[in-house]
Structure 1
């Protein structure tokens, strides 16, 4: 007989109770995920609010009507218990025509506020927050002096343009009474406006900043953006702000949305105003800013990754807070029609007899800059790096850099630019010429130039490099130390390299 073995039932798996499972999750989640969360760089710097999304229904014709006085945009931020309000205009300080009206304040609804600072096409006032209610019209006040009276009564033509200010462009306010007097004149006129207050216009941004940003305004030639952005990504630019200047084709179709914000800015020939607007919003978003256009490529004596960023850090370590990049002017290489390809590959001739001329700038936004004049920027306590040599092919980081400007391209590009006009109201006093794209001007085609292949060689080496898709950011910790971080927008998990902190 087989020996009897005691019966042992099969061992059942132990089932955890619901409470023990919850306890396990509560214990393990902080252990695993908190170290990862501590490595996150935090939210990206805030995008610019759609300041102008509401304005087009007010004056639909305003974007192309730049010569007539108009309040076009604003910037608002808290200043102690008040709001610091900066209003931007066109047609108020058009020096090309000898017109420079005196702005003396801001009109918020029907209440005037004196100006605390005025610049060409820019007026700054302080307003109590209670005065800024939804849909309140905001505009600039002008003093009704002899200059304004003459313009209102004039039919004078200067350089083919109408100098007249029409009665609907300004509203003359009733003369102020003795009891209402303050620092403002008795006789004032309000400029017509395309701006009404919305709560999101108050810039209360805080937090992280990009290390190096690029700002430009663009209307034509969106096809230039792809190569331009690829080049500067490899040169160390972390983020781009492009002010869309009433473009015929939406610029968003030509850019990588991970690294750029397209800002609606519809008024023609208002580059100075858009630069000044960004000068106000940049300190909360960027540590350094370069103001280069899409046909301008910086040439530095260094082909390693992030060369522009390291060059700016190099000059900043020497104590410079505004760095000037002088133009190296390129000319047409014999093209009538616009060729397909990258500018550095197509145009290999530069002007003969290059001289030192104004270029563009990069700024340390930790300093106080007050006014952008297209090429130079005014500020408080700044130190400008201004090289006086023309090193057409810099060999090292110690050498001066150049800004290769493809200003004279094909005849077709020249015709298109002539049809639109210049970028600024300060430089558009000449009437447009009637040009035929099929009949090139022999003088333009014969522009004196000499071969220059120095930048194309550098371009090829740099553009063949890799872009790891990371955005460089800066965050200030509780001790006031600046921490540099990586942010990978294409990754499910944000990753960053070793945290590097240092005193500002």
Structure 2
């Protein structure tokens, strides 16, 4: 079967923009590093995580503790203007040295024109993280606070990554979860409450089948978008768990595989939370491209039960908070010291 390499498609796209007289604008959407940030094998941490967040106070503890169980040893969290107590939730982790917080909204003050309204703020934050902290990490995962990255059968992410050390970038496909019938925020954990996901992504909507990437910062030369990086060859490229190169066409259904790794993307959580979140624009982020709840309708049009992540829940619960009689999480126990981790 005839196929075109991802780098060939990228170069063809460049040429088309040039012929249309619009290459300058297209090129500006990508952000570049002038030089590598680190040498391979010199990192302090094997696996770190980057996330840009806003008002994640109810969930950030579960998200951190879950990924800590997966083998993440440090988090770089870019706070994009939280005012709900997220900073207070992160404070014990910062004191322990597990989390580095960058007050991104404050950092961008006066730079709104550069950040723009087309999603550039997130790409700027990703590039800032690579440039300033990339030398600390052998691998760095770029995910959001509503995304839980985990191995399908292995015990941790680090266990899996050892099998891909010949690659510069490993991309992991989403499973998209909707409301699971919750009109309002239910008590308990996200990983327990949301169990219904889209059965099969539709080719007509690329936002249902995208990847997030675990990358070697030493190989990064730029940020193509929030899903894929520009690596040492000068074009966006990455590989799936099946070692298939996907490049910037990360949403292709033909390459999709979640047999080794997956991301549970809790896209909406409850309907009330989803609507509230959509009503508040983020600094430097584009206006909502999903429009008229179309993506959520797609997710909820054909769902299947999926509790694969719940094999980690008992250990996760033991790391989290005391509970009230009705099951509500009422308080987070501070992060455990290294000698007490499970």
Aligned twin of 1:366: 218
Aligned twin of 1:264: 103
Cα shift at 1:219: 1.0
Aligned twin of 2:124: 273
Q: Does 1:326 align with 2:173?
A: yes
Aligned twin of 1:357: 209
Aligned twin of 1:469: 337
In the aligned structure 2, how far is the partner of 1:379 from the partner of 1:335? 41
The higher-RCO structure (CA 8 Å, 6+ apart) is: 2
If each structure's strand is expressed as a fraction of its own residues, which one has the higher value? 1
Superposition CA RMSD, Å: 3.9
Query: Superposed, which structure 2 residues align to 1:155-170 within 5 Å?
Result: none
Q: Does 1:229 align with 2:64?
A: yes
Aligned twin of 1:196: none
Query: Superposed, which structure 2 residues align to 1:113-124 within 5 Å?
Result: 119-120=28-29
Aligned twin of 1:218: 53
In the aligned structure 2, how far is the partner of 1:102 from the partner of 1:230? 43
Q: Does 1:343 align with 2:185?
A: no
Q: Does 1:289 align with 2:179?
A: no
In the aligned structure 1, how far is the partner of 2:299 from the partner of 2:48? 38
Whether the 8 Å contact between 2:48 and 2:141 is mirrored in structure 1 is yes
Secondary structure in 1 matching 2:279: helix
Q: Does 1:312 align with 2:221?
A: no
Distance 1:212 1:295, change over 3 A: same
Q: Does 1:378 align with 2:217?
A: no
Aligned twin of 1:74: none
Query: Superposed, which structure 2 residues align to 1:482-493 within 5 Å?
Result: none
Cα shift at 1:124: 7.5
In the aligned structure 2, how far is the partner of 1:231 from the partner of 1:313? 20
Aligned twin of 1:401: 261
Q: Whose radius of gyration is greater, 1 or 2? A: 1
Aligned twin of 2:4: none
In the aligned structure 1, how far is the partner of 2:48 from the partner of 2:185? 30
In the aligned structure 2, how far is the partner of 1:337 from the partner of 1:456? 22
In the aligned structure 1, how far is the partner of 2:193 from the partner of 2:151? 20
Instruction: Tell me the matched-pair count.
Output: 265
In the aligned structure 1, how far is the partner of 2:29 from the partner of 2:310? 42
Cα shift at 1:358: 1.5
Distance 1:329 1:342, change over 3 A: same
Secondary structure in 2 matching 1:345: helix
Cα shift at 1:285: 2.0
TM-score, structure 2 normalization: 0.65
Whether the 8 Å contact between 1:288 and 1:363 is mirrored in structure 2 is yes
Whether the 8 Å contact between 1:320 and 1:383 is mirrored in structure 2 is no
Over residues 109-154 of structure 1, what are the superposed CA-to-partner deviations in whole Å (9 max), with x where a residue is unaligned?
xxxxxxxxx743758889xxxxxxxxxxxxxxxxxxxxxxxxxxxx
Distance 1:449 1:349, change over 3 A: farther
Whether the 8 Å contact between 1:121 and 1:273 is mirrored in structure 2 is no
Whether the 8 Å contact between 1:334 and 1:445 is mirrored in structure 2 is no
Whether the 8 Å contact between 2:80 and 2:282 is mirrored in structure 1 is no
Cα shift at 1:426: 5.2
Secondary structure in 2 matching 1:366: helix
In the aligned structure 2, how far is the partner of 1:314 from the partner of 1:446? 32
Cα shift at 1:233: 0.6
Cα shift at 1:366: 2.6
Over residues 371-428 of structure 1, what are the superposed CA-to-partner deviations in whole Å (9 max), with x where a residue is unaligned?
241111111149732242444xxxxxxx431111010221111212211246864564
Whether the 8 Å contact between 2:278 and 2:288 is mirrored in structure 1 is no
Cα shift at 1:449: 4.1
Query: Superposed, which structure 2 residues align to 1:95-174 within 5 Å?
Result: 119-120=28-29
Aligned twin of 2:274: 414
Distance 1:315 1:124, change over 3 A: closer
Secondary structure in 2 matching 1:344: helix
In the aligned structure 2, how far is the partner of 1:334 from the partner of 1:416? 17
Distance 1:424 1:272, change over 3 A: farther
In the aligned structure 2, how far is the partner of 1:429 from the partner of 1:354? 18
Over residues 62-82 of structure 1, what are the superposed CA-to-partner deviations in whole Å (9 max), with x where a residue is unaligned?
xxxxxxxxxxxxxxxxxxxxx
Over residues 241-279 of structure 1, what are the superposed CA-to-partner deviations in whole Å (9 max), with x where a residue is unaligned?
110101122422112222111111115852121112112
Secondary structure in 2 matching 1:223: coil
Cα shift at 1:455: 2.3
Please, which runs of 5 or more residues in structure 2 have no aligned partner? 1-21, 109-116, 203-207, 243-254, 320-334
Cα shift at 1:359: 1.4
Secondary structure in 2 matching 1:313: helix
If each structure's helix is expressed as a fraction of its own residues, which one has the higher value? 2
Aligned twin of 1:459: 312
